[in-house]
Structure 1
C-alpha cells in the first residue's frame, strides 16, 4: 500500500509516518506545500526522510495560491460571518489538489492528513480529494487513532520520532493571507488575547504615533500596485502584511460557527487581507450600480460560505464566479488607506469607471441636477407604500 501524507514537519504528522507504516504496512510519500507560512522546507524534508519515507515533495505553491485562490477571494470580498477572510480555508483545496497530483503520479492507494475530527479542515481536504479522485482512500490518523498528547509523545519516543520541547501552548496555522491562533487561554472567549500570540502586528502602544498611508491599485478586481510600484501578487501581499502590521492593523477576535456545529473563539492576524478587502469593497461602491452591489453582497456571502464549509469543488462556486468576474471587469482604480494604531480608514478613491459625477453630486451653483425632478419621483417612489398605509388606517378606523 502506498500513502501520500500531507506533512507539516511537526510531531503529529511525524508520528503519522510511523503509524501508517506500522498499521498499514504502507510506503509513505510526504508532501509539504509552501503557501507563505515561512517555514524551513529543507529541514522539514530532512526530518521526513529520516523517518523512512520513500519520497518527499517540497512544493512552492505561493504563486498558485495567490492567483487561483486568494485573488478570487478578493473579488468575492470573502469574509466569513463578516469577520474572517477565510485564509486557512483557502489553502486546503490547494493542498488536496497537490496530494491528488502526487498520488496519481505514484499510483498511490490513499492520501492522509493530520486534521482532527473537531475542525473544519478534515471536511475541506476530504471533499476536495474525493471530488478530484473518488477512487483514492482518505486516511485521517488523528480522527481514527484518538491519541492524547501524552500518548502521542510516548509512541513517538518508542518509535524513534524526535520529540522537541513544545514551543507553545497555542495551535497556529499561517499562510500569506493570514495567521490563525487557537488553544490555551484563547479558549475562554471572555479573556483578552495575550500579546505573546501576535507576530505580524505591533501592539497599539508600540505602533507609530503618526499615521501611515498606503495606496493600492486594482485591475479587474485584483491588486496590482502598492504605493505606485507594480508587484506580483505574492510580493504585494507580503509587503502589505509588514506595512499594515507595523501600524497594529490586522487583528481579528470573534466567535465563529464551525462547520461541525461548534461555536469557537478564533483569533487571526490578517493585515494585508483586511487592507485589500476594505479597499476593494470601497472601489466597488464607486464603480458598480446599487443594484449590482445589492445582488453581489448576496453572491459574495454565499461564495465565502462555500469556501469556509469545504465546498470549493461545488459547481455553484464557479457559477457565482461567473457573475463576480463580470462585475470585476470594471473594478479598476486606486484606493488610498490611512493606517493608525490599529485603525484602517479609506481616505480616497478614483477610477476611470467611476459612477460619481461631481456635476450631479455638488450642491454648488454649477450642479446639473434639476431639483424639480424630485417632486414627481417622490410621488411614484412612495406610491404603493403610501397607498398601503392609507388603506390600513381606513380599515382600522
Structure 2
C-alpha cells in the first residue's frame, strides 16, 4: 500500500484554505498538515476553533505558531522608521505578514520532510508570488500546489463544493475575505472589485462605537513606539495591540487602497489599521522635529524603497539588511511624545514634546525673528547661492 504524500498547507482558517484541506484530502488523498502562522490576528478561542475545523475537514495534523514578535522586530519597526505607506496610503499590513507566514511554512515543511507545500492564494493577487518565491528559495525541490489558483475558483464555487461535502459556510464569511493581523485588517468583497463603491459599515470587523473625542500622548524611544498616556510596555507588540483596542472603535485608519500588484494589474482592497496609522503618522511628525533636512530627505527615499521591496516579496534580498541598518541608525534622536486627538473616522496630530526638538533650539522663530544670523549674512548667502544660476544664464546668453 502506497504511503500518502505529506503536504504542508498554509492554513488561515478562511474559505480558501478550508477548501484546500477538503479538496487535497478528498480528491488526491494527501496527508494534509495544516499550519497556522499567527501574526497577531487570532484569539485563543479562534485558534481552537480553527484546529477543530481543520480536523473536521480532514487534516492529518494541525499546528499553530505565533510569529508576531519576530514580525515586529524584523520588519514592522523598520516600516515605522521609514514611515512606509504604499502609495502614501496603505501600511503594508498583509505584505509584511505574508512574508513571515511563508518563512515559517517553508521552515516547517523542511522540518517534517514534506513532499509538497500548498497555499490558498488566487491567481490574481500578490500573495501567490510572496509564497511561491519564498518556498522556491527556502524549500527548493518541494512541489508547490495551489488549488484555488489552478482551478480559477470563485468564492461561490468554493462554498458550493464544501456544501456538497457536508460543510456549511457562514454567509458573511463567504461574502467578505478578511485578513487580520497586528498591522491591520484587510477586507475584500464585491465592492472592492469595483472602482466606485466603498465598503458598507457591516463589512468592517470592528464597528464604530465611540464618538467622544479623546486626546492621547504617544511615547517613542529611538523611533520605537513604546506606549501611550504614561504607560510604557515591555514589548512593542503589546503597545501596538493596546493602542489598537483604544483607537479601532473610532473607525480610525479605515481606507480603501488602490495599487499595482506584483504581476502588473491594478488591485483594490479595504483596510482598517488604527494603531499602525497613528504610529506611522505620529512617528513622522516627531522626525520632522528631531532630524536634519537631508536625513529626512534620504529616509523618505529609503522608506519608500523598503516598503516597495516588502510589498514585492523581496524581503530576503540582502539589500534589505543594508536599508535596515541605515533606518535604525537614523533613529537615535527620535524620542519624545506625540499628542494626538481621536475623533470618529479621523485623528488630528496636535504636536510633539522632545528633548531633541530642533524647533526650540534657540536660533530663531520661523517668520518672526532670528538670533543666529544678521540681515547682512543673508544677503551674502543669497548672493553666493544665486551664483550658479547666473553662470548658467550667462553661458546660455553667450551661445546665442
Same fold (TM over 0.5): yes
2:161 matched to 1:165?
no
**Equivalent in 16, 23, 26 of residue 12 of structure 1:** 16
**Equivalent in 80, 85, 94 of residue 86 of structure 2:** 80
Q: For 2:193 and 2:158, how far apart are their aligned partners in 1?
A: 22
Question: Offset of 1:44 from its aligned partner?
Answer: 0.6
- Conservation of the 8 A alpha-carbon contact between 2:92 and 2:311: yes
Q: Which residue of 2 aligns with 1:387?
A: 391
Question: Offset of 1:242 from its aligned partner?
Answer: 2.9
Q: Which residue of 2 aligns with 1:49?
A: 55
Q: How does 1:201-212 map to 2 (within 5 A)?
A: 202=208, 207-208=211-212, 211-212=213-214
- Conservation of the 8 A alpha-carbon contact between 1:200 and 1:241: no
- Residue 191 and residue 52 in structure 1: after superposition, are their counterparts in 2 closer, same or farther (change >3 A)? closer
- Residue 187 and residue 153 in structure 1: after superposition, are their counterparts in 2 closer, same or farther (change >3 A)? closer
**Deviation sequence 1:97-126 (CA, Å, 0-9, x none):** 211222122111221110100000111122
Question: Offset of 1:144 from its aligned partner?
Answer: 1.4
In the comparison of the two structures, how many residue pairs are matched? 391
Aligned residue for 1:359, secondary structure, equals coil
2:228 matched to 1:222?
no
**Deviation sequence 1:141-191 (CA, Å, 0-9, x none):** 11112234454344324444x122322522221212111112212322223
Aligned residue for 1:328, secondary structure, equals coil
- Conservation of the 8 A alpha-carbon contact between 2:218 and 2:338: yes
Question: Offset of 1:315 from its aligned partner?
Answer: 1.5
- Residue 273 and residue 148 in structure 1: after superposition, are their counterparts in 2 closer, same or farther (change >3 A)? closer
Aligned residue for 1:260, secondary structure, equals coil
2:196 matched to 1:193?
no
- Residue 155 and residue 184 in structure 1: after superposition, are their counterparts in 2 closer, same or farther (change >3 A)? closer
**Equivalent in 233, 236, 260 of residue 236 of structure 2:** 233
Q: Which residue of 2 aligns with 1:126?
A: 132
Q: For 1:316 and 1:137, how far apart are their aligned partners in 2?
A: 28
2:91 matched to 1:89?
no
| Unmatched runs of 5 consecutive residues or more in structure 1 | none
2:378 matched to 1:374?
yes
Q: For 1:273 and 1:201, how far apart are their aligned partners in 2?
A: 18
**Deviation sequence 1:62-91 (CA, Å, 0-9, x none):** 323322232222112111111110001110
Q: For 1:9 and 1:254, how far apart are their aligned partners in 2?
A: 24
Q: For 2:31 and 2:324, how far apart are their aligned partners in 1?
A: 40
2:366 matched to 1:360?
no
Q: Which residue of 1 aligns with 2:122?
A: 116
Query: Comparing 182-191 with 301-310, which one deviates more in the overlay?
Result: 182-191
- Conservation of the 8 A alpha-carbon contact between 2:35 and 2:64: yes
Q: Which residue of 1 aligns with 2:6?
A: 2
2:113 matched to 1:107?
yes
State the TM-score, normalized to the length of structure 2.
0.90
Q: Which residue of 2 aligns with 1:342?
A: 345
2:35 matched to 1:31?
yes
State the TM-score, normalized to the length of structure 1.
0.91
